[in-house]
């Protein structure tokens, strides 16, 4: 699961750093149809706790830091994001949650499709059933 975390190249010079994100590359193998970001996060709260049936996403912690818990139904892994050049892919069929936000954390999310509540699996048991059905 470690290979879901990639380090994006950046341009740097005396003025600072610049990262350009382009769709349909090794880092974003999907087209980007939606961008959203979450901010004003409280360290004691969790977000996420769902999986998607079809949506592919990439998370970038562009400011601050957070923990992302990923679970494919068989394996679990925690990622710590604290640099804006870390790109964490969240493939479809991965249960994921985010927590332990430090002050002023902003998480940018690039998504392969528009928002569709029907694409969400929000119950963990339904998620495990979905994965079990997929594997048979």
Q: Applying CB under 6 A, which of residues 6, 8, 48, 128 lies at the interface with ligand TYD? A: 48
* H/E segment holding residue 134: helix 124-135
Q: Applying CB under 6 A, which of residues 8, 47, 92, 93 lies at the interface with ligand TYD? A: 47
Q: Applying CB under 6 A, which of residues 11, 23, 29, 36 lies at the interface with ligand TYD? A: 36
Q: Applying CB under 6 A, which of residues 5, 27, 38, 62 lies at the interface with ligand TYD? A: 38
**Does the footprint of ligand TYD cover residue 64 (CB under 6 A)?**
no
DSSP 3-state of 39: coil
Q: Catalytic: which of 8, 50, 69, 77?
A: 50
User: CA-CA-CA-CA torsion for 20, 47, 91, 117, nearest 10 degrees?
Assistant: -110
63 burial level (CB within 10 Å; 0-12, 13-18, 19+): middle
Q: Let me know if 77 is a catalytic residue.
A: no
What does DSSP assign to residue 29? -
**Does the footprint of ligand TYD cover residue 19 (CB under 6 A)?**
no
Q: How many residues bind ligand TYD (CB under 6 A)?
A: 6
H helices, E strands: number in the chain:
1, 12
**Residue ranges in contact with ligand TYD by CB under 6 A:** 34, 36, 38, 47-48, 115
Residues classed as catalytic: 50
């Amino acid at each position: 699961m470690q290979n879901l975390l990639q380090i994006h190249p950046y341009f740097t010079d005396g003025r600072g750093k610049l990262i350009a994100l382009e769709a349909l590359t090794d880092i974003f193998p999907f087209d980007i149809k939606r961008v959203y970001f979450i901010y004003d996060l409280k360290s004691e709260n969790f977000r996420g706790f769902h999986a998607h049936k079809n949506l592919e996403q990439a998370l970038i912690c562009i400011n601050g830091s957070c923990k992302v818990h990923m679970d494919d139904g068989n394996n679990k892994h925690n990622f710590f994001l604290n640099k804006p050049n870390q790109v964490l892919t969240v493939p479809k069929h991965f249960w994921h949650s985010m927590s332990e936000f430090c002050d002023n954390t902003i998480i940018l999310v690039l998504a392969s499709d528009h928002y569709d509540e029907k694409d969400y699996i929000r119950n963990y048991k339904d998620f495990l059933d979905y994965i079990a059905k997929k594997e048979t």
